[in-house]
Amino acid sequence: MSGSNVFTEAIERLDTAATHSKAHPETVERLRHPKLLTEVSVPVRMDDGSERVFTGYRCRYDDTRGPAKGGIRFHPDVSREEVMALAFWMTVKCAVANIPYGGGKGGVICNPKEMSFAELERVSRGFMRGISHVVGLDVDVPAPDVYTNATVMAWMMDEYSAIVGHREPGVITGKPVALGGSLGRNDATARGGFYQIEELAQIKSFDRGSTTIAIHGFGNAGQYFAQLAADAGYKVVAACDSRGGVYDPNGLDVPTLIETKNSSRRVQGQGSEISGEDLLHLDVDLLVPAALENTITMDNQAGVKAKYILELANGPLTNDADDALAQRGIVAIPDILANSGGVTVSYFEWVQNKSGLYWELADVHEKLRTKMAEEFRAIWGFAESKGITMRTAAYAIALDRLAEAHEATGTAASYAR
Ligand code: GLU
């Protein structure tokens, strides 16, 4: 997943975007360097009595527009470079979504699938102890990412609160509702992407019933997106996870598929079996990569036939594959826009924690829809007017917003805590 060049590749996007942005070259240069990168070792007592030492990272990439914001990933392939790339993307994503945050990211090299519940709790609490001096309510605010969830966030918030000596729910978002989480955070990433597809459908006058969708990755984002799309009448024809997938040209029964996946840990039981690679090459209207980085590369891009790609995962296309697809007229709604619904509702959660006033689900949905529609239309319009891709347009708009903040701040960087 995370070759050592993932970070170098990520910041390469700045150069193309800079030519369409008013940002001063000094802002672009500043964005090539993470502000703070913390590496910790986390000794954990395993259930069998032995001690294992896990390595974790937290990157505060840029905090000029506000506190750093971004998830924590638990995955065997986590690396320093991957965390830096993901933190850079968060910086750009928060500027695209126009929420008052910088970007950050964290990760622990571990495999939660091989750990007991108690071991997972010890890793989560141990990691928070390790990074507690570099995160904070107005400093850097973590959230869930790949293989972490509300329960993990609850343990981390509890641990942090114990360290600082008072309850601090807003130090982390994506918490269980019972501990100060926001209604609507669980499906926010998928819902944000779904609202954007609804905008696209309006612009392009899609007939939902004949619009086909294939979903690559069936975790939180993939499952919720499948459900929202199916409920709205779109035809979800294929889905897969890392172990395989299913395809039915007449449409899948999504609620049953989600139930099967969550009880058997596999996407199976209907239509015909399909590999992840073949799913990428299906002749569908919309392809939704919802797993990890570098899913579509130069080795497999030539077979992609979808008209549109909604990047619910972070970094699913390599730069060269992205260029090749764009040349063939395939429109990619870029990750920094497509999956920004997650961090947008994280922002709503943080605002609720700070104010102590909690919102109705309908309010969350309405505010999310307004934001997603606004940013989608702005980026779509800018891309059309300049004849550039939506990715370049999104980066250029983000760069302008970041430059404005950098210029307003001046040169001296401050380091909270
Ligand atoms: N991990 C999610 C992302 O990549 C959410 C981050 C957040 O809510 O802070 O956007």
Write out the two tokens for 114.
């091989």
**273 within a domain of the structure (yes/no):** no
Distance from residue 188's CA to the centre of ligand 1 (Å): 10
Element (H, E) at 41: strand 36-45
What is the total count of domains within the chain? 1
**103 within a domain of the structure (yes/no):** yes
Atom of ligand 1 nearest to the CA of 70: 9
Task: Give me the pLDDT at residue 219, please.
Answer: 93
Task: Give me the pLDDT at residue 409, please.
Answer: 86
382-392 pLDDT, tens digit per residue, is 999 999 999 99
Q: Which residue has the tokens 């764009």?
A: 326
Q: Around Cβ 78, how many Cβ atoms within 10 Å?
A: 27
Produce one character per residue of 284-318: b if its CB has 16 or more CB atoms within 10 Å, e if not.
bbbbbbbbbbbbbeeeebeebebebbbbbbbbbbb
DSSP assignments along 336-360, one per residue: HHHTHHHHHHHHHHHHHHHHT-PPP
Task: Give me the pLDDT at residue 1, please.
Answer: 41
**397 within a domain of the structure (yes/no):** no
With a 6 Å cutoff on the Cβ, whether 73 touches ligand 1 is no
- Cα 126–Cα 109–Cα 187 angle in degrees, nearest 5: 85
With a 6 Å cutoff on the Cβ, whether 106 touches ligand 1 is no
**353 within a domain of the structure (yes/no):** no
Q: Around Cβ 236, how many Cβ atoms within 10 Å?
A: 25
pLDDT at 4 over 60: no
**233 within a domain of the structure (yes/no):** no
Mean pLDDT of 43-60: 98
More confident residue, 252 or 411: 252
pLDDT at 26 over 60: yes
Q: Which of 145, 172, 352 has most ligand 1 atoms within 8 Å of its beta carbon, as the pocket-test mutant?
A: 145
pLDDT interval class at 410 (50, 70, 90): confident
Task: Give me the pLDDT at residue 417, please.
Answer: 60
Mean pLDDT of 92-106: 98
**288 within a domain of the structure (yes/no):** no
pLDDT at 93 over 90: yes
Host domain of residue 54: 3-14+34-179
Task: Give me the pLDDT at residue 2, please.
Answer: 45
pLDDT above 70 coverage of the chain, percent: 98
Cα-to-chain-centroid distance, residue 385: 27
Mean pLDDT of 335-353: 98
Rounded mean pLDDT of the chain?
Answer: 96
Query: Which residues are annotated as catalytic?
Result: 105
Residues 39 and 80 sit within 8 Å (Cβ to Cβ)? yes
pLDDT above 90 coverage of the chain, percent: 94
**115 within a domain of the structure (yes/no):** yes
DSSP assignments along 62-92, one per residue: E-SSSSEEEEEEE-TT--HHHHHHHHHHHHH
Task: Give me the pLDDT at residue 416, please.
Answer: 66
Residue bearing the CA closest to ligand 1, atom 8: 343
DSSP assignments along 363-384, one per residue: HHHHHHHHHHHHHHHHHHHHHH
**114 within a domain of the structure (yes/no):** yes
Mean pLDDT of 315-341: 97
Q: Is 294 left (phi over 0), alpha (psi -120 to 50) or beta?
A: left
Per DSSP, what are the bridge partners of residue 362? none
pLDDT interval class at 174 (50, 70, 90): very high
104-155 pLDDT, tens digit per residue, is 999 999 999 999 999 999 999 999 999 999 999 999 999 999 999 999 999 9
The domain spanning residue 88 has which CATH number?
3.40.50.10860
With a 6 Å cutoff on the Cβ, whether 71 touches ligand 1 is yes
